[in-house]
Chain A
């Protein structure tokens, strides 16, 4: 399967849920999708197209919280970044854990550092900060003085 076929298959599955597709090269593609379409996109990538989950990166912008899910198709060295944008006031999204264990720790980390809530995650506890770090204070947020009560 080459990159064009793969993108076609994703577009066929997600239709109007795709906001934008950016093809930087045959090896690097970014797709912006609606937040609700994440599990559908992950299913087609992981199970039908047999991609591998690399990791997810979260990042806070003026518009809200962006999460990029990085998937790799190793036979041709293609990396697809699936991007979702979460509103700043209520950053929630469905967890990938029910379909892929590999997402477990990174979702815990994103929750711990940014305060993003992953629905249906089996155990959204702290992962990488020491047990003494205060709850409700999310260190990677730009407005680090905001606590949970302000949201």
Chain B
């Protein structure tokens, strides 16, 4: 008689969703964290070897939905390094505008999620509502709400006509006002202070040890930002500053992201001024051949440095394409930021790193440290976090 093997999971109607983080707990405290993954491995680096260079842009854009521009950005930087060309100014401004608009909508998304994890559903609704005009802007400029297909080797594929600039400025003004609202709501709320200050701390040494990047690093006082360190596109042409904080806790990470949004708005406004100075329509340099060589391209995504390494051999296809997203380095820091915390603080400590995949409530489960038994699933972890906020809110109200 032949045997039939019935595979169960990771996706199965009777089982929970594929687990990403396993929190091993003793009582209330998290003793260890394991990361389990692999089900969604798409083999993008391998796929890239069978695509021509123009096609690779469409491939890498789909690595991530939220920071989708940063991958074509880094890839374009790598390719233009191999060819040794400089793109026209107008293309530089357009690239930076798209990159910064993406940073805006990504940080707004994160603020909403953080609000949700903490139990502030109004923050969640507002942040995602004010994100919509930014996505509408993208649709106006590029035709799509994400995956914009704007990049090509030598420039950009579509122009942002000067006639569209007033509409963009109008949306930016609105976003700035709403950012004021959100920043005020988050930074001054005593319960949010109590829930996020001192939680999930990463020291400067932790950042260096794990190679962490982006707002996660900047919130611990490590001022690394590819836009300043190895400037590309229009970033050296406009005035802006790198935002840092010192405490390295969840509050600092939120603060850095919120304040970065103001810098992004300022960069976009300056780039729009730049567009008015540059000649309309001059958005690319024709590239006929890609010589043999290697290129190290990096770009600052909302979550940190995206790095693409490309090796070419003179043919139409990349010989090797290594892709490293910032979350690859940042997620590992959970060993430091979650161990020793209470379970109810674990979800917000994990979310503070802004892991770049569906960071929904399904991302973490809690296990008993000694027996390995599952004790809480993702929904319950989320509810624990929200309940703690409620309890703190009541407590703070009772104080005179």
Q: Does A31 contact B (CB under 8 A)?
A: no
Q: Does B37 contact A (CB under 8 A)?
A: yes
Is the CB–CB distance between B329 and A102 below 8 Å? yes
Residue picked from B224, B230, B311, most chain A C-beta under 10 Å: B230
Bound Cα distance from A77 to B230, whole angstroms: 4
Smallest distance from the beta carbon of A120 to chain B beta carbons, Å?
A: 17
A130 (CB) vs chain B CBs: closest residue? B38
Residues from chain B with a CB closer than 8 A to the CB of A126 are 38
Main secondary structure on A side of the interface with B: mixed
Q: Which range contains the number of B residues in contact with the other chain? A: 20 to 34
Q: How many A-B residue pairs have CB under 8 A?
A: 77
With contacts A28-B296, A70-B307 known, what are 12 further pairs, Cβ within 8 A?
A28-B81, A54-B307, A54-B324, A55-B324, A55-B329, A68-B309, A70-B309, A79-B298, A81-B294, A102-B209, A102-B329, A126-B38
Residues from chain A with a CB closer than 8 A to the CB of B279 are none
Q: Which range contains the number of A residues in contact with the other chain? A: 20 to 34
Is the CB–CB distance between B311 and A74 below 8 Å? no
B41's partner among A30, A57, A59, A130 (CB-CB below 8 A) is A130
Q: Which residues of A contact B (CB under 8 A)?
A: 27-28, 30, 52-55, 57, 59, 68, 70, 72, 74-77, 79, 81, 100-102, 104-106, 126-133, 139-140
Smallest distance from the beta carbon of B218 to chain A beta carbons, Å?
A: 12
Is the CB–CB distance between A74 and B224 below 8 Å? yes
Residues from chain A with a CB closer than 8 A to the CB of B43 are 139
Asked whether A140 and B46 contact (CB < 8 A) given A57-B322, A130-B39, the answer is: yes
| Sampled A-B contacts (19; CB under 8 Å) | A28-B296, A54-B298, A54-B305, A57-B309, A72-B230, A77-B230, A77-B231, A81-B296, A100-B209, A101-B210, A102-B209, A102-B211, A102-B332, A128-B41, A130-B38, A130-B41, A139-B43, A139-B46, A140-B45
Is the CB–CB distance between A74 and B209 below 8 Å? no
A30 (CB) vs chain B CBs: closest residue? B294
Bound Cα distance from A53 to B212, whole angstroms: 10
